[in-house]
């Protein structure tokens, strides 16, 4: 298992170090090599996604990323912004499937802004198509027509693009509670009528998985009304962008949320959902659990080692049950710890 490790900027190096320690403790046959991405790469080479990093990322089976960005680079020209590095690696590796679990551990039920009885035990996986839809469709732009400004974007999907993301969702559901809810807006948008048709066709390949459909406006409501009805939700790029943020906020704790972006062969880029948190960088207080849980996703989806993934997830549950909390998830009566101590606690629980 060849893993390219990209610690990045801000808290990235601190949280990635803990995830790497956890991975090493599992005693699997892994080879890890570090490279530069984001602001640190701009500082060293002038390029947010340098040649050497590209080679390493392309040769690896999986990429583990901390986070990129920070105020230092905000005024740099667009091609030297850290986010360019992130978009560059996603595009180059053809990562079309974004998987974002929203899990609310019962110990953290008070962290959500929703009532604990609505969200306790929440465990949803949002599967978002990442390389198509209105975000990439041509023509696009702002022009003047009939004497006034006119804005234009184009929504489109091919049936093969829809089918491949649906298959990712069905395969993921087979590892969970075997329910897929496909989200569209077929009552208004022809493009998503095709989405629904292809979802129904693809569903026939997975008779063991229950398929349902929901319009996106209703899905947004149901996510806050009764989120536990969902197992896997699958949708296009734009709806997924919005629904995955909504779902992750149900849990109330950004430091706990991992993500995976996969290509057609399950090669993946794994990273926490949060950013580089410049406000707390270098202080040793960041929550490393989202990055550690991203390693669990890597083991499950790229290396097909569910047992090892579960070991990490169980260890995280155990440290929460033992009362260990970083500042972002702290509640009175719990043991407040820093990044390294949280890593130590996970290692001890393993």
* Distance set, CA 214 to CA 127, 221, 230, 345 (Å): 14, 11, 11, 41
Number of chain residues interacting with ligand NAD (CB under 6 A) = 23
Contacting ligand NAD (CB under 6 A), which of 254, 262, 293, 299? 254
Kindly identify the residues of this chain, within the stretch 293-322, that bind ligand NAD according to CB under 6 A.
none
Single out the segment in contact with ligand NAD by CB under 6 A; choices: 127-135, 167-175, 226-234, 278-286.
278-286
If one asks whether residue 274 binds ligand NAD (CB under 6 A), the answer comes out as yes
241 labelled catalytic:
yes
User: In the bound complex, what is the minimum distance in angstroms from residue 112's beta carbon to ligand NAD?
Assistant: 16
185 labelled catalytic:
yes
Where do runs of H (alpha helix) occur along 120-236?
Answer: 159-174, 190-203, 216-225
User: In the bound complex, what is the minimum distance in angstroms from residue 197's beta carbon to ligand NAD?
Assistant: 34
Distance, CA of 270 to CA of 66 (rounded, Å): 9
245 labelled catalytic:
yes
Stated as kind and residue range, the H or E segment containing 121 is none
Pairing of strands 268-272, 258-262: antiparallel
Distance, CA of 271 to CA of 126 (rounded, Å): 15
Single out the segment in contact with ligand NAD by CB under 6 A; choices: 24-32, 40-48, 139-147, 285-293.
285-293
133 labelled catalytic:
no
Where do runs of H (alpha helix) occur along 261-338?
Answer: 289-301, 306-321
Contacting ligand NAD (CB under 6 A), which of 13, 132, 255, 343? 255
User: In the bound complex, what is the minimum distance in angstroms from residue 249's beta carbon to ligand NAD?
Assistant: 12
Nearest C-alpha neighbor of 38 from the set 5, 3, 73, 14: 73
* Distance set, CA 150 to CA 141, 143, 145, 224, 262 (Å): 8, 5, 6, 35, 36
Q: Name the catalytic one among 217, 279, 306, 314.
A: 217
User: In the bound complex, what is the minimum distance in angstroms from residue 12's beta carbon to ligand NAD?
Assistant: 7
Q: Name the catalytic one among 185, 231, 270, 328.
A: 185
Distance, CA of 235 to CA of 162 (rounded, Å): 9
Residue 67 three-state SS: strand
If one asks whether residue 132 binds ligand NAD (CB under 6 A), the answer comes out as no
Task: CB nearer to ligand NAD: give 14 or 184.
Answer: 14
Contacting ligand NAD (CB under 6 A), which of 235, 261, 276, 302? 276
Distance, CA of 327 to CA of 56 (rounded, Å): 34
User: In the bound complex, what is the minimum distance in angstroms from residue 287's beta carbon to ligand NAD?
Assistant: 3
Residue 329 three-state SS: helix
Residues 339, 280: contact at Cβ < 8 Å?
no
Task: CB nearer to ligand NAD: give 137 or 323.
Answer: 323
Residue 218: DSSP 8-state: H
Single out the segment in contact with ligand NAD by CB under 6 A; choices: 124-132, 153-161, 243-251, 270-278.
270-278
If one asks whether residue 253 binds ligand NAD (CB under 6 A), the answer comes out as no
Distance, CA of 184 to CA of 164 (rounded, Å): 16
Q: What is the DSSP string of 28-56?
A: ---EEEE---THHHHHHHS-SS-HHHHHH
Site string for ligand NAD, 64-103 (x = CB under 6 A): ---xxxx------------x--x-----------------
Residue 305: DSSP 8-state: -
Single out the segment in contact with ligand NAD by CB under 6 A; choices: 18-26, 194-202, 241-249, 276-284.
276-284
User: What angle (nearest 5°) sits at the alpha carbon of residue 68, between those of residues 301 and 238?
Assistant: 60
If one asks whether residue 286 binds ligand NAD (CB under 6 A), the answer comes out as yes
Which residue has tokens 């499937």? 97
| In the complex, residue closest to ligand NAD by CB | 275
Task: CB nearer to ligand NAD: give 122 or 329.
Answer: 329
Binding site for ligand NAD (CB under 6 A): 11, 15, 67-70, 83, 86, 254-255, 271, 274-280, 286-287, 290, 326, 328
User: Which are the catalytic amino acids?
Assistant: 135, 185, 217, 241, 245
């Amino acid at each position: 298992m060849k893993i390219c490790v990209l610690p990045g900027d801000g808290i990235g190096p601190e949280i990635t170090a803990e995830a790497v320690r956890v991975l090493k403790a599992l005693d699997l046959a892994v080879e890890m090599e570090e490279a530069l991405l984001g602001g640190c790469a701009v500082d060293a080479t002038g390029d947010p996604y340098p040649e050497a990093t590209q080679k390493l990322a392309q040769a690896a089976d999986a990429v583990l990323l901390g986070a990129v960005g920070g105020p230092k680079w905000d005024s740099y020209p667009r091609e030297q912004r850290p986010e360019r590095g992130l978009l560059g690696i996603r595009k180059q590796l053809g990562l079309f499937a974004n998987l974002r679990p929203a899990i609310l551990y019962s110990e953290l039920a008070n962290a959500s802004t929703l009532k604990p009885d609505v969200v306790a035990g929440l465990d949803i996986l949002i599967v978002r198509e990442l390389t198509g839809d209105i975000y990439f469709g041509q023509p696009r732009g702002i022009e003047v027509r009939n004497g006034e400004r006119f804005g234009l974007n184009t929504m489109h999907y091919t049936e093969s693009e829809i089918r491949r993301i649906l298959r990712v969702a069905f395969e993921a559901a087979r590892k969970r509670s075997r329910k897929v809810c496909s989200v569209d807006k077929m009552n208004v948008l022809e493009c998503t009528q095709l989405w629904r048709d292809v979802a129904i066709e693809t569903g026939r390949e997975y008779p063991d998985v229950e398929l349902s459909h929901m319009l996106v406006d209703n899905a947004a409501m149901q996510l806050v009304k009764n989120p536990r009805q969902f197992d896997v939700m699958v949708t296009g790029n734009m709806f997924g962008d919005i629904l995955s943020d909504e779902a992750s906020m149900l849990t109330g704790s950004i430091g706990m949320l991992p993500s995976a972006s996969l290509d057609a062969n399950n090669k993946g880029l794994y990273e926490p959902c949060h950013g580089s948190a410049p406000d707390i960088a270098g202080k040793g207080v960041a929550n490393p659990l989202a990055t550690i849980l991203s390693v669990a996703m890597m083991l499950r989806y790229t290396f097909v080692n569910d047992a090892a993934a579960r070991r990490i997830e169980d260890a995280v549950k155990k440290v929460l049950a033992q009362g260990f909390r970083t500042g972002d998830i702290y509640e009175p009566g719990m043991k407040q710890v820093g990044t390294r101590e949280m890593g130590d606690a996970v290692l001890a629980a393993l």
